[in-house]
Chains A and B, each alone.
Chain A
């Protein structure tokens, strides 16, 4: 087995495209779920709206990248309002149900053959990334050091992605140390108590939903540009659940929780993938037990087991405070 390539692939995945995308989606969720306690099970829809907003405006409407970004952000705000206006006055579960349904509606709408002219149907859209890569100041070649050597295209998108991710983390840190963030955390604990202290709970929940959704849309921009394609089935419910996993692994309501969670999540996926594939190739695992095509499924099973272990032995996540979990048991 080639441990060198296994390790180097794993290290690459720590800073890779998926890590950035899922960390960003999880930063959005962190604002909504981690701090405000909003059960948004439709983060995939916000990511999809961002990605498609950009792709449709640039490719089908022939407008500039900036218009695409504005439409993606605007779309996320509109989606948050659509979901929030009817449900945020109700109990928390209603938002969960509405968001999970809305995410599927969004995905199926982008996938439908009726809208093919505007969304590309199940094939999605490609060829909208030219303007973004034209902005790339890097010339052809590879950049980086050690295991982290990437092409100029990937370096550019990773650079933009990580800068945005850090900016969002700073934004979350600034917001959550402020009295505004305190109200949000209060709402997570008990919204009636916060209401009785004269805070407009509904407005705060709406703000949190919008901010988290817009950060999700940015994850969509990076997803679309990094892959140079949008494809409806990438924005299924598993995207949302991966983002939740990332958030819980890192520790909810911790500024860097999503970033560390995403790095660990994709590190473990890369490790299990490469180790299993190589073990099969080298004959350590008999093909009667597992063939190379099954590696993809088995690695998720292993990740599932790891997550269970984490939740049993460290339920607060990597950064969480054990005392907080103890309080929940009361």
Chain B
């Protein structure tokens, strides 16, 4: 087992003082300009000119983007903005038409998905991919990397892999306990609820000891009771030194946990910045609402719109009364 495995096995936040990594990440990003493609002090992932076309539609057209190491970065944008496609490109699940990106200074363009995962960038999926007819613990064991027993020639000889299997099982059980899935250890993954599957998928991804975790809509289909616990687990990833990039629609979640937000619209990155800055950014409001600011994005905006609407109603009322009097 790699030496740094203790990193993932400890109680969340025990190795580092609780929340301190958030402060570090926020401080590091404080002086970064709030503009698309802004350079970061310590980027783990740098992408340039990544494009992907489906026929005439340009789904992704990202000029330049950097993801800060050790921070939680949210990738948001309206439906069809190309977030998931961009995710698929970065993780090797789709091939770009053009583009270059480097993860830890290693080029990952056109590297197959399984190698991307081996280099330490592991993803989850929007539609959870629990392996239904494997038990929870088998799902977890599958996540471990570098298993000797996964080579055909070694597979036949149990002594070649038995010890490693025991170590992986021990680590899997610790992770399951952390994610409160230990009571489900020997159940089929297919029998878990939607939220538990999300937890299992995240825990399974952690078995490979990644440096960067890519979460595609971690909150989709999760009941509110589990949301808080999932949020806590995502924050834990940062506390353990991992970098997180996630796609999400739930703005409350984005506001709550992300250190930095990247906004995509129509395949392009239109804004970047800390959550509160980004949500007040007119470019973002335009991206979401197509230039018609029907729905409020901030409280002040809400107040202003309410006042405007009331004034309008009163005016109409007055006009109607005027009509009635005539």
Q: Which A positions have Cβ atoms within 8 angstroms of B?
A: 171, 174-175, 177-183, 185-186, 188-190, 192-201, 207, 323-324, 327-328, 330
Contacts A179-B165, A196-B124 given: A185-B91 contact, CB under 8 Å?
no
Taking a contact as CB atoms under 8 Å apart, the answer to whether B91 and A196 are in contact is: yes
What would 12 A/B residue contacts be, using CB atoms closer than 8 Å?
Answer: A177-B158, A178-B158, A180-B150, A186-B134, A189-B133, A192-B113, A195-B113, A196-B124, A197-B142, A199-B150, A323-B188, A327-B190
Please pick, from A171, A185, A197, the residue contacting B204 in the complex, using a CB distance under 8 A: A197
Instruction: Confirm or deny: B292 has a beta carbon within 8 angstroms of a beta carbon on chain A.
Output: no
Q: B273: shortest Cβ distance to chain A, in Å?
A: 30
Taking a contact as CB atoms under 8 Å apart, the answer to whether B142 and A194 are in contact is: yes
CA distance A61 to B155 in the complex (A): 38
Taking a contact as CB atoms under 8 Å apart, the answer to whether B132 and A327 are in contact is: yes
Please pick, from B155, B191, B208, the residue contacting A197 in the complex, using a CB distance under 8 A: B208
Please pick, from A181, A190, A195, A324, the residue contacting B155 in the complex, using a CB distance under 8 A: A181
Taking a contact as CB atoms under 8 Å apart, the answer to whether B150 and A183 are in contact is: yes
Instruction: Confirm or deny: B114 has a beta carbon within 8 angstroms of a beta carbon on chain A.
Output: yes
Taking a contact as CB atoms under 8 Å apart, the answer to whether A189 and B158 are in contact is: no
Q: Which A residue's beta carbon lies closest to that of B165?
A: A179
CA distance A174 to B160 in the complex (A): 13
Q: Of B115-123, B227-235, B253-261, B300-308, which stretch is located at the interface?
A: B115-123
Taking a contact as CB atoms under 8 Å apart, the answer to whether B113 and A196 are in contact is: yes
Taking a contact as CB atoms under 8 Å apart, the answer to whether A185 and B123 are in contact is: no
Known: A199-B114, A328-B132. 18 other contacts (CB 8 A): A174-B155, A174-B156, A178-B149, A179-B148, A179-B161, A181-B155, A183-B142, A185-B131, A185-B138, A186-B131, A189-B134, A192-B113, A195-B93, A195-B114, A195-B117, A196-B117, A197-B122, A323-B191
CA distance A189 to B128 in the complex (A): 12
Q: Mark B138-155, 1 if CB is under 8 A from A, else 0.
A: 110111010111111011
Q: A36: shortest Cβ distance to chain B, in Å?
A: 13
Q: Which B positions have Cβ atoms within 8 angstroms of A?
A: 91, 93, 112-115, 117-118, 122-125, 129-134, 138-139, 141-143, 145, 147-152, 154-156, 158, 161, 165, 188, 190-191, 201, 204-205, 207-208
Majority SS at the chain A contact face: helix
Q: A200: shortest Cβ distance to chain B, in Å?
A: 5
Q: A300: shortest Cβ distance to chain B, in Å?
A: 32
CA distance A178 to B284 in the complex (A): 51
Q: A215: shortest Cβ distance to chain B, in Å?
A: 14
CA distance A177 to B158 in the complex (A): 9
Contacts A196-B113, A207-B152, A327-B132 given: A179-B141 contact, CB under 8 Å?
yes
Residues of chain B with a CB closer than 8 A to A195's CB:
93, 113-114, 117
Q: Which A residue's beta carbon lies closest to that of B156?
A: A174
CA distance A327 to B158 in the complex (A): 30
Taking a contact as CB atoms under 8 Å apart, the answer to whether B133 and A192 are in contact is: no
CA distance A179 to B172 in the complex (A): 14
Residues of chain A with a CB closer than 8 A to B115's CB:
198
Q: A34: shortest Cβ distance to chain B, in Å?
A: 11
CB-based closest 10 A-B pairs: A179-B149, A327-B190, A180-B155, A193-B129, A198-B117, A178-B155, A189-B131, A198-B118, A179-B150, A190-B129
CA distance A207 to B150 in the complex (A): 12
Residues of chain B with a CB closer than 8 A to A194's CB:
131, 142
Taking a contact as CB atoms under 8 Å apart, the answer to whether B114 and A198 are in contact is: yes
Residues of chain B with a CB closer than 8 A to A171's CB:
156
Please pick, from A180, A189, A197, A327, the residue contacting B152 in the complex, using a CB distance under 8 A: A180
Residues of chain B with a CB closer than 8 A to A185's CB:
131, 133-134, 138
Q: B157: shortest Cβ distance to chain A, in Å?
A: 9
